[in-house]
Amino acid sequence: MKILLTGNLGYIGSVLTDILKKKGYFVRGFDTGYYADNLVLEAILPNEQIFWDIRNVNKKQLEGFDAIIHLAALSNDPLGEFDANLTNEINYKATVNLAKLAKEAGIKRFIYSSSQSMYGVADTSEELTEDKAGPFGVTEYAKTKWSAEVELKKMNSDKFTVVCLRPSTVFGASPRLRCDIVFNNLVASAYTTGKIEIKSDGTPWRPVVHVLDVSNAFVAAIEAPIELVSGESFNVGIPNVNYTVRDLAEAAQRAVSGSTLVFTGEHNDPRTYRVSFNKILTVLKDYYKPEWNLDKGGIELVELFKKVNFTEDQFRNRTCNRLQQIKFLVDSKKLNSNLVWN
C-alpha cells in the first residue's frame, strides 16, 4: 500500500513514518518543512519527501496513492491563535481542498487527525463520547478541527472512506520532540530545572495518549475493515487516562526523582473535559491496542533526555516549542506574514 503522510516532519509524523515503514508501507512525506530541523535525534526518512505547502497541493501530487493520513496543521491552541485567519486557511480550507482532490484522484481512504480540543469547556461529571462534540471549542484551533470534520464527513462514500481520529493531548519521545504539550513540558521542566511549577490549581482535566499509541491508531484506521470506520470519528486514548493537571504533574515528579512541585494558582484555565474511549477500544479492538501509561512514558522521556544531554536551553527555546519556531522563521524573514517561504 502507498500512503501519503502530510505533516510527516512534525512530532507525531516523525514517529508514524517509522511505524509505517516497518510495516512495509510505501510512504511519501508531504510537509512544508517548518520543523524539519527541529531534531533532538535523527529521524527515519520516508521513501519519498515532498516539501510543499498544503495550501497549494494539486491532484497530480496525490495520484497513485491508496490512502492519505493528514496530520499537517497549525497544531495546538497557542499556535492556532498566532493568526486566526491563517489557522482557518491551513487547518480548515486546505484540509477540505485536500480531501476533495484526494477523492477526485481515486484515493480510497482519508484519515484525518482531528482533536479533542473541540470539546472545549465541558461538564466533567460525565465522559464525553464522540457524538457529544460540537462547535464548543474555545480556541480557533479547536473550531477549525470541528469544521473540517463536518465537511469531510459529507464526502464519505462507498468509494472514499473518511475516518476522523481525535487524539487526546499527546506525550512521549519523538525525534522532533515537543515541550509545548503538557506532560512533556512537565517532565522536561523537572529534568532540566528540578522544578515543576503549575500556574493553575491543577484541577482541569486533560486526557492524554502516548505518541506511539496515537500513531498505531492511525495504522488501525488504515487497516480496519471499511464497515468499521467509514464516516466515523474516534476519540483516541487508553482506558482510565482522564487525568487532572495535578495528576500529570505528580507523574512528572515521579519520573524525575528529587524534583519539586508547586501549584501557584495564578491562572484559571477554563478548558477541561473528560473523554470516553470506549468506542475505539471496542469497535477497533482487533486493530488498536494501546500500551503506554504516564509512568512508562515519563521513564521514556527521562531516558531520551539523558541520551541527548537535554538542556534547559533546549527545553525553553524554539527547538521544542512550535510557536517559538514559527515566530523565529517570520522574524528572520524566512517566512512571510502568511507563513509562506520567502
Interval 178-207: pLDDT, tens: 999 999 999 999 999 999 989 878 888 888
pLDDT tens for each residue of 249-289: 999 999 999 999 998 777 666 667 788 999 999 999 999 99
- Mean of pLDDT over the chain: 92
C-alpha cell at 11: 512530532
142 pLDDT band, cuts 50/70/90, is confident
Q: Which residues contact 278 (CB under 8 A, 6 or more apart)?
A: 129
81 pLDDT band, cuts 50/70/90, is low
Cα 40-171-238 angle, rounded to 5 deg = 150
> Backbone phi, then psi, for 335, in 5-degree steps?
-115, 145
Report the 10 Å Cβ neighbour count for 76: 20
CA nearest neighbour of 116 among 81, 73, 165: 165
Report how far residue 208's alpha carbon sits from residue 283's, in angstroms, rounded to the nearest whole number.
20
**β-bridge mates for residue 67, sequence order:** 3, 109
Dihedral sign (CA 1, 224, 20, 231): positive
Arithmetic mean of pLDDT, 67-82: 79
Dihedral sign (CA 166, 146, 323, 206): negative
Q: What is the pLDDT of residue 137?
A: 61
Please check the confidence at residue 80 and state whether its pLDDT lies above 70: no
Cβ(155)–Cβ(104) below 8 Å? no
What one-character-per-residue DSSP string does 262-328 give? EE--------B--B--HHHHHHTTTT------HHHHHHHHHHHHHHHT--HHHHHSGGG-HHHHHHH
Predicted TM-score of the model (pTM) = 0.94
In the block, cell 517570520 appears at: 330
Cβ(137)–Cβ(120) below 8 Å? yes
334 pLDDT band, cuts 50/70/90, is very high
CA distances from 26 to 4, 43, 46, 168, 318 (A): 8, 17, 8, 27, 31
Q: Which amino acid is at 299?
A: I
Q: Name the CATH topology of 2-331.
A: Rossmann fold (3.40.50)
Residue 221, H or E segment: helix 211-223
Percentage of the chain exceeding pLDDT 70: 93
CA nearest neighbour of 71 among 46, 90, 48, 43: 90
Please check the confidence at residue 5 and state whether its pLDDT lies above 80: yes
Report how far residue 63's alpha carbon sits from residue 98's, in angstroms, rounded to the nearest whole number.
12
Q: What share of the chain is helix, strand, coil (3-state, %, to 5)?
A: 45, 20, 40
Cβ(241)–Cβ(108) below 8 Å? no
Q: What is the pLDDT of residue 250?
A: 96
Arithmetic mean of pLDDT, 322-339: 94
144 pLDDT band, cuts 50/70/90, is very high
Where exactly are the structural domains of the chain? 2-331
Q: What is the pLDDT of residue 132?
A: 72
Report how far residue 322's alpha carbon sits from residue 306's, in angstroms, rounded to the nearest whole number.
22
pLDDT tens for each residue of 39-65: 999 999 999 999 999 999 999 999 999
| 87 Cα distance to chain centroid | 15
Percentage of the chain exceeding pLDDT 90: 79
More confident: 134 or 102 = 102
Please check the confidence at residue 120 and state whether its pLDDT lies above 80: no
Cβ(206)–Cβ(253) below 8 Å? no
Q: What is the pLDDT of residue 271?
A: 65
Please check the confidence at residue 77 and state whether its pLDDT lies above 60: no
CA nearest neighbour of 162 among 96, 79, 82, 260: 96
Residue 48, H or E segment: strand 48-51
Cβ(235)–Cβ(279) below 8 Å? yes
Cα 127-129-169 angle, rounded to 5 deg = 75
Arithmetic mean of pLDDT, 18-44: 97
